[in-house]
Amino acid sequence: MMPEWLNDAVFYEIYPQSFYDTNGDGIGDLRGIVEKLDYVKNLGCNALWINPCFDSPFKDAGYDVRDYCRVAPRYGTNEDLYRLFSEAHRRGIHVLLDLVPGHTSEEHPWFIESAKAEPNALSGRYIWTDFWICGVPNHPYIGGETPRNGTYMLNFFKCQPALNYGWRKVTERWQCGVDHPDALATRKALMEIMRFWLDRGCDGFRVDMADSLVKEDDENKSCTAAIWREVREMLDRDYPEAAIVSEWSNPKLALNAGFHADFYLDHWHNGYHSLLRQTDDGMDRSYFKKDADSDIMRFLDDYLPKYEATRDVGAISFITCNHDTPRLAPRLSARELQLAYATLFTLPGVPFLYYGDEIGMRYMADLPTKEGGYTRTGSRTPMQWDKSANMGFSEADPEKLYLPVDPDPDAPCVQEAEGRDGLYETVRAVLAIRHREPDLRTNGSFSVLYARPKDPLFVYRRGDRIAAVNPSGKACSAEVKGLNGKTPLFTVGEAAAAGDRLTLAPQSFVLL
Ligand code: GLC
Ligand code: CA
């Protein structure tokens, strides 16, 4: 089963570039994260996911790793990271690093070695053809760059050659099976990287593109899953307190492959998308949008079967956003965000809050792409701490910042959000209740009490608790079984429970 701490974990995702700069070079750093651990804890988060902080040419913001076991100098040293682990643990905070298993940077020494003309021990570490035209459709490849007589396959950008975990069915001379010594050597190298960090205090990994290991896998990704099951066996045996969370967004496959939790990502037309980012014919139809005239059915139709099929195996992770996804503000108003987060944080699973979402940081459209960010760049701007220079992020000259801070004079910041009615205090209040009430934790039971087509009201049960949300602009009411005698623990807006009848004012949430 999962490590006990995950049952009460609420994660805070930190994009290290943009969190807090302590040495005035305009880029966030590990010491900056250490300085803000009390802030994270006070918010109600007791776990971190840090985006890749390893040595890298940063053509994909660090997802192009050049050395898996060395902290990027711009963030500090390995010692700084070890200190971050121990300072976090002192505060009851667990730390996940970002593991990128599917590819490395083209500057990784493994790749440089494998690109040599003479066969060597690393020739099989990546996927190379033996001819200058690659025969596999749907897989981008690169030729003309290296002395080696062949082309190599990519996993994402041009700078990210695919590591070789072998092929399910070998159909070409240059392919090897998943049990070939070269494929097994890649697997072993992956597990050694994990051990390196786990031995030094890391609590586990968020795993990048976790489904991408074996190319041309079957529909159930059985070969890729087998690799993760081996990883999980290693964890259960040697690091039973460690957790792995997958970027897969297919909980049935990911959790059965051994992940403890799987992200429910913003994918076109899935249930999560319908809650927060759904547009139809240019109209915003997101469930939490006040005027969307929407209902919860599109979400439940997708989510419930996934939840039912996996609740005994692992957790589904709801996210407020992440470094790849457009932030919700300003498209959703502060009130819409309050209702959305109150709901996300009271559903089952392990929730993730993206840095800055607690204050409603805005998506900054039209920023030029930075480090391979493209449209993602607008979700990666510096954290807004206060109203001092660079919004308290850094003492560097503004033009030296990793990305500009939000120039709006009304841009939200922590200093102004603390202690005031609003999004930030709603997040704090809901997270405090979540930690206090065992029913609301990851594994607490969940069932739907009220959900109807063309009706914005959604009522659900978590153990002895009942939660209800009405994101629409009109009052809603319903008979709810088991309501009798329950009193509100937490409310956004207004709600009344009388007998079995529950009534929610426009744009309201209640936990009873
Ligand atoms: C994942 C990461 C993304 C990165 C890509 C390639 O989707 O979240 O930021 O660009 O993988 O590693
Ligand atoms: Ca710095």
The model's pLDDT over 14-26, given as tens digits with 9 standing for 90+, comes to: 999 999 999 999 9
Question: What integer is the mean pLDDT of 326-336?
Answer: 98
Instruction: Indicate the length of the chain as a whole number.
Output: 512
**Whole-number Å distance between alpha carbons of 49 and 26:** 22
pLDDT higher than threshold 80 for residue 174: yes
Closest CA to 423 of 431, 467, 12: 431
pLDDT of residue 1: 73
Which of 262, 459, 260, 265 shows the shortest CA–CA distance to 346? 459
Nearest Cα to 510, choosing from 476, 459, 464? 459
Q: Are 51 and 99 in contact (CB under 8 A)?
A: no
- Dist. CA 206 → ligand 1 center (Å): 11
Please report, for residues 64, 122, 124, 373, 399, the alpha-carbon distance to residue 162 in angstroms, rounded to integers and kept in the order given: 11, 13, 11, 20, 35
> By C-alpha distance, which of 186, 189, 165 is closest to 177?
165
For residue 63 and ligand 1, the question of a CB distance below 6 A is answered with: yes
209 within ligand 1 shell (Cβ under 6 A): yes
Output the pLDDT for position 134: 67
Domain with CATH 3.20.20.80 in the chain: 4-100+318-438
Best CA proximity match to 164, nearest among 213, 207, 109, 100: 213
Read off the amino acid at residue 335: R
**What's the pLDDT score for residue 135?**
63
Atom of ligand 1 nearest to the CA of 324: 9
SS3 413: coil
pLDDT average, residue stretch 179-207: 98
Residue 274 has pLDDT above 80, yes or no: yes
Which ligand 1 atom is the nearest neighbour of the CA of 60?
A: 10
Ligand nearest to the CA of 376: 1
Ligand 1 mean position, distance from CA 306 (Å): 24
203 CB less than 6 Å from ligand 1? Answer: no
What is the average pLDDT across 85-94?
98
| Interval between CA 73 and ligand 2 midpoint (Å) | 10
Please give the pLDDT value at position 136. Answer: 72
Atom of ligand 1 nearest to the CA of 323: 9
Two tokens, residue 337: 């965000």
Q: Ligand 2 centroid vs 32 CA: distance in angstroms?
A: 8
Range 4-100+318-438: architecture per CATH: Alpha-Beta Barrel (3.20)
pLDDT of residue 132: 85
Tokens of 143: 């030729």
Q: Which ligand is closest in space to the CA of residue 162? A: 1
Q: Does 156 sit in the ligand 1 pocket, CB within 6 Å?
A: yes
Ligand nearest to the CA of 56: 1
Query: What share of the chain in percent tops pLDDT 70?
Result: 100
Residue that wins the pLDDT comparison between 444 and 269:
444
Domain covering 103-164 in this structure, CATH number: 3.90.400.10
Tokens representing 489? 């623990």
pLDDT band at 175 (very low <50, low <70, confident <90, very high): very high
Q: Is the CB of 265 under 6 A from ligand 1?
A: no
Q: Across the beta sheet with 501-504, what order do the strands follow?
A: 476-479, 501-504, 495-498
CATH for the stretch 444-511: 2.60.40.1180
CA of 62 to the centre of ligand 1 (A): 9
CA distance 99 to 510: 38
Give 454-503 pLDDT, tens digit per residue: 999 999 999 999 999 999 999 999 999 999 889 999 999 999 999 999 99
When pLDDT is averaged across residues 171-175 and rounded to a whole number, the result is 93
DSSP 279-338: EETTEE--TTSGGG---SHHHHHHHHHHHHHHTTT-EEE-BS--TTS---BTTS-HHHHH
- Which segments of the chain belong to CATH 2.60.40.1180? 444-511
Strand partners, 98: 206
Q: Which of 51, 59, 60 to mutate to test the pocket of ligand 1 (most atoms within 8 A of CB)?
A: 60
Residue 145 has pLDDT above 80, yes or no: yes
Confidence tier at 189 by pLDDT (50, 70, 90): very high
Q: What is the rounded distance in angstroms from the CA atom of residue 72 to the CA atom of residue 259?
A: 27
pTM of the model: 0.98
- The rounded Å distance from CA 444 to ligand 1 centre is 31
Ligand approaching nearest to the C-alpha of 394: 2
List the end-to-end C-alpha distance of the chain, in Å, as a whole number.
30
Sheet holding 490-492: strands in order across? 447-451, 458-462, 465-470, 508-511, 490-492
| Whether residue 137 has pLDDT greater than 80 | no
Q: How far is the CA of 318 from the centre of ligand 1 (A)?
A: 18
Average pLDDT of span 319-324: 98
Ligand 2 centroid to residue 139 C-alpha, Å:
37
Dihedral pair phi/psi, residue 72, rounded to 5°: -60, 130
Q: What is the C-alpha separation between 338 and 124, in angstroms, rounded?
A: 51
The predicted pLDDT at position 263 comes to 98
Residue ranges, CATH 3.90.400.10, the chain: 103-164
Indicate which residue's Cα is closest to atom 4 of ligand 1.
Answer: 63
Give yes or no for residue 354 CB within 6 A of ligand 1. Answer: no
User: How far are the Cα atoms of 162, 285, 327, 329, 474 from residue 281, in angstroms, in the given order?
Assistant: 37, 10, 21, 21, 24
Burial of 431 (0-12, 13-18, 19+ CB in 10 A): buried
Choice from 208, 249, 262, 369 to test ligand 1 binding pocket (greatest atom count within 8 A of CB): 208
CB 98 within 8 A of CB 51: yes
With a pLDDT cut of 90, the percent of the chain lying above it is 96
Q: What is the pLDDT of residues 360-417, one digit of tens each?
A: 999 999 999 999 999 999 999 999 999 999 999 999 999 999 999 999 999 999 999 9
Three-state SS string over 60-126 comes to CCCCCCCEEEEECHHHCCHHHHHHHHHHHHHCCCEEEEEECCCECCCCCHHHHHHCCCCCCCCCCCE
**What is the pLDDT, as a whole number, of residue 427?**
98
Taking residues 447-459, what's their average pLDDT? 98
Average pLDDT over residues 46-59: 99
Query: Can you tell me which atom of ligand 1 is nearest the CA of 376?
Result: 9
